[in-house]
Structure 1
Amino acid sequence: MNTYTHTHAHTDAAASGAAARLTREYLKGLPAGCAPERSCQTSALAGDIYGSAFLTRPVFFGRGESRELGARLSGLYDLLLTLPQRLHDGDLRAFTAALGWSPEQIAATLRPDGRPRELPRSARADLYREEDGFRLLELNGGSPLGGWDIALLNEALLREPYTASFAQEHRLDFTDGIDVLRNLWHESFPGPDPSTNPVVALLEWPESYPVMERHLRRMAGLLAAHGVEAVPCHLGQVEYRADGIHVAGRRIDVVHRWFVINDVVTAGDAALLAPLSEAADRGLVHLFTPLENEVYGTKAALALLSDQRNRSLFDRAELEVIDVLLPWTRLVRDEKVEVAGERVDLLRHALAHREDLVLKASSSHSGLDVLAGWETSADEWAGRISAAVDGPYILQRRVRPVAEDFPAPGGGPVEPAVLTWGVFLAGRGYGGAYLRGTTDLDSGVISSGRGGRLGTLFLCDDGEETP
């Protein structure tokens, strides 16, 4: 019996109410040959980590919808933060070990005495939109998040006259991620005068810095336009002094971390990071964000929320938060699990329902280490499932997003495409979003490496759809 019954749907229900109406109106009025994506291809976002392929129109999203989604994501994040207490009596070391982190990663992440830090509330949720609402694929916690600079794409789209006129007529606006980021810094580190901008280190891992340097320098330029001095650098360039940390002769107030937990592999890596963590714990610098944030951004943590055996730990309202957003997700273990009310052997279930499941590494990002069962042969799938048992991997129900209409590149005829929504959680609410889209409606991963197109959205007034 197929326990997963969702199917593809091509429907304007992908956007509800006013957003759906605006999409139809936008497409109906689009002049022949008008291709707003061309203005994006000359923008500052083109190239390096984002590629040069862009969605052929903006996406519209109701302001009320954005607030509701932000509140739901905040509620789910709250529950993730409580997992160490609910599952391990507050023992963070036991919790991170249960997530599959190595001793080196645990040593680099947690305080020596195991006390939890007060963590900034910064994350990006990657979601698909099914017919009945958004479903969470993963929640990337912390600061190394792609899309802070997505407003560059909104500005590029507004250089196209038709889009600019449409946005003005319908009072559309957008969220500037750089403003969101500055507000997060001020909210996370209260005390200094909020009108005083800090000196910020945009800090990468030494091996990753050559690839990321261009992106970090663009970020530094955007921050400079907001009055913030930012210094792109890597961890090997940091100098530790009695009064704090310094980079290129500048004393640093805030470190914006761009490296991730997977950069920490050896004891030497942990030792490289230790002085920065110690300086932050002593109050010599503000660290946005410590690696501890990533404890709550792993797919393994989502599996613990989804696990039927843990449902008794949550009240009815908390379970509703989980059930509304999170598809069936489990750690890969040789054990019995519950699927659609039945107790089944997980590994046998995985083999029998390959086309309805995705195998993911629990700490990967950017669509890496994701294996879609429907894109994989039965033999390869069986081998990969076997190799994943008791490792840092999860199985997740396949989420089938509804499609939206987009003009073909260059102003061609309308064609359906599906989207990944990268929605920022900033504090306790919505902090903007960036999108990836593809016309391959059965794609296991929507990424630039697999033909995905980058996009952005404009916020509109919510209202009832007119006939």
Structure 2
Amino acid sequence: MTGFVAPTVERFRDATAELRELSAPYAKERLIFQPPIESAEQVRRLERACQTVFEGLDAVLRDICDGDVLRMAKLCRATPPELRFLTRQPYQNWSTVARPDVISSGGRTVVIEINGDSPAGLFGLHDIITRAQTAFLPPEANLARPAVAMHGLLSGLTKSFGEFGGMVAICYWRHEQAAGPVDWQYELFARELRRHGIASVHCALEDLELSDDGVRHEGREVSVIYRYFESPEPGADDEFAVLDTLFRIAESGKVGLFTGYRAEVLASKAALAVLSGATGIAPSLRARLAEHVPWTRIIESRRTIYAGREVDLLPWAEREKDRLIVKPVRGHAGKGVTVGREVSAEVWAEVLATGVRGGAGDHPYIVQELFEPDPLPVAFTDERANVTSTVTPSVNGVFIVENTAVAVLRRYAVNNTGTININPFSGYAPSPVWVAS
């Protein structure tokens, strides 16, 4: 990490002007002004790990489930609300848009989360931080090239829908607004689309005007709905009614939906358990999956195989807590994640018991082998130009569009808790990965 100039108060203020407009957290602190620079081959290794996982998902659907999406959904423990809408829209694969979390650990490249759905995007965050970092790069420098994540996303939109004349509406459920201020990332994403010439707005799905003629927002045509909303919980009849209408319009071709529930359900944490234990696919693919997919199981009373020997899952997991991590299948942003070595035996036993009972909406939990991310150097600054340099674990968010890595956003653990659950709630510093020239 050389060639970037030292931060000053004035340079920091200039670099973070866009972030301040959005009240983004990195407008005051944790701004990485010296981005990591990796070789093209290292980025390719991250891409290959993701592609192997998606190849595995295709093989499970084809070879184990005979092409039946609903059969695969049941393997992934889909709930009735998810099954209700799984097949009711135009086809989109799980690798249309995804953002797997990938770590490097002792020479292995391991996919710890598939994140095969629209909310995993964060394309705009990647690009706005890239622009901020460029302010610390001298004009004559030719050290590396930053990716533009939005270029990849826009190519995916064009491939799915062709040229369209209406807006992109970034949509979520109205109850998200009632729970608190709408995430600044929605507005960031809308701004980034507009920056690239795509009219865009973010709003509650219920605020759209849905009719047989198409979809409008405040009288303006909506061509594509970018889905940030998830399947409704049981009993949310008003939300189910909105989705019924929306899918009918999408089926008629009057609006596009990007992306679909197929990825949300079938490229979830439960899918890692399916891939980890799959026996009905080609041995060569199984070997590659074993290299990139951590040992993962749904938490339930059963016997299973670990490292070639049969174990009774629940008592074994209770004993082996220091090598394991528990996650809710439909959790996000690190919510509900427990790292075994970071809690007491009593807390761990209760976490496993909760996993057996299931979580919100009857979603299960997984238990997964813990991989230690390789520590990497990082330097970040705050609005007073105070620089912190450290060596810390990190995780790579790999932006996948049409099965190709278009950018990488690395998250560094810079919290005081020491947890390796690197997420917004524990605190982290994000940086785009620049590729060496």
Class of the TM-score when normalised by the shorter of the 2 chains: 0.7 to 0.9
Counterpart of 1:205, as a letter, is W
Contact 1:332 1:390 in 2 (8 A): no
Give deviations 1:333-383, integer Å, cap 9, x for gaps.
211111111111111211111111000001111111111111111011112
- Secondary structure of the 1:127 match is strand
One of 43, 47, 51 as aligned partner of 1:74? 51
**Percent of aligned pairs with the same amino acid:** 24
Partner of 2:353: 386
Partner of 1:229: 199
Contact 1:105 1:264 in 2 (8 A): no
Partner of 2:98: 123
CA distance in 2, matches of 1:85, 1:208: 37
Q: Which aligned pairs between 1:286-301 and structure 2 lie closer than 5 A? A: 286-301=256-271
CA distance in 2, matches of 1:248, 1:199: 11
The unaligned stretches of length 5 or more in structure 2 are 359-363
Partner of 2:243: 273
Deviation for aligned residue 1:229: 0.6
Q: TM-score, normalised by structure 2?
A: 0.87
Q: Does 1:186 align with 2:158?
A: yes
Deviation for aligned residue 1:398: 0.8
RMSD: 2.7
Contact 2:45 2:109 in 1 (8 A): no
Deviation for aligned residue 1:72: 3.3
- Secondary structure of the 2:263 match is helix
Q: Does 1:106 align with 2:106?
A: no
Deviation for aligned residue 1:389: 1.9
Counterpart of 1:207, as a letter, is H
Partner of 1:202: 170
Cα 1:420–1:371 change in 2 (3 A) is same
Partner of 1:423: 398
Partner of 2:361: none
Q: Which moved more, 1:59-68 or 1:292-301?
A: 59-68
CA distance in 1, matches of 2:251, 2:43: 35
Cα 1:50–1:326 change in 2 (3 A) is farther
Partner of 1:19: none
Q: Which aligned pairs between 1:21-40 and structure 2 lie closer than 5 A? A: 23=1, 26=2
CA distance in 1, matches of 2:284, 2:12: 43
Counterpart of 1:292, as a letter, is R
Partner of 2:410: 435
Deviation for aligned residue 1:267: 4.6
Partner of 2:110: 135
Partner of 1:346: 313
Counterpart of 1:131, as a letter, is G
Contact 2:297 2:367 in 1 (8 A): yes
Deviation for aligned residue 1:96: 2.4
Q: Which moved more, 1:65-74 or 1:240-249?
A: 65-74
- Secondary structure of the 2:72 match is helix
Partner of 1:83: 60
Q: TM-score, normalised by structure 1?
A: 0.82
Deviation for aligned residue 1:32: 6.7
Contact 2:76 2:274 in 1 (8 A): no
Partner of 2:19: 44
Deviation for aligned residue 1:281: 1.8
Q: Does 1:315 align with 2:287?
A: no
Partner of 1:395: 367
Deviation for aligned residue 1:108: 3.5
Q: Which moved more, 1:339-348 or 1:384-393?
A: 384-393
Deviation for aligned residue 1:425: 1.0
Counterpart of 2:111, as a letter, is L
Deviation for aligned residue 1:407: 3.5
Partner of 1:303: 273
- Secondary structure of the 1:400 match is coil
Give deviations 1:27-46, integer Å, cap 9, x for gaps.
xx676776987765544276
One of 230, 236, 240 as aligned partner of 1:260? 230
Contact 2:379 2:388 in 1 (8 A): yes
Contact 2:172 2:204 in 1 (8 A): yes
Deviation for aligned residue 1:127: 1.7
Contact 1:41 1:53 in 2 (8 A): no
Give deviations 1:133-168, integer Å, cap 9, x for gaps.
3211101112222421111111111112xx3358x3
CA distance in 2, matches of 1:105, 1:334: 24
- Secondary structure of the 1:344 match is strand
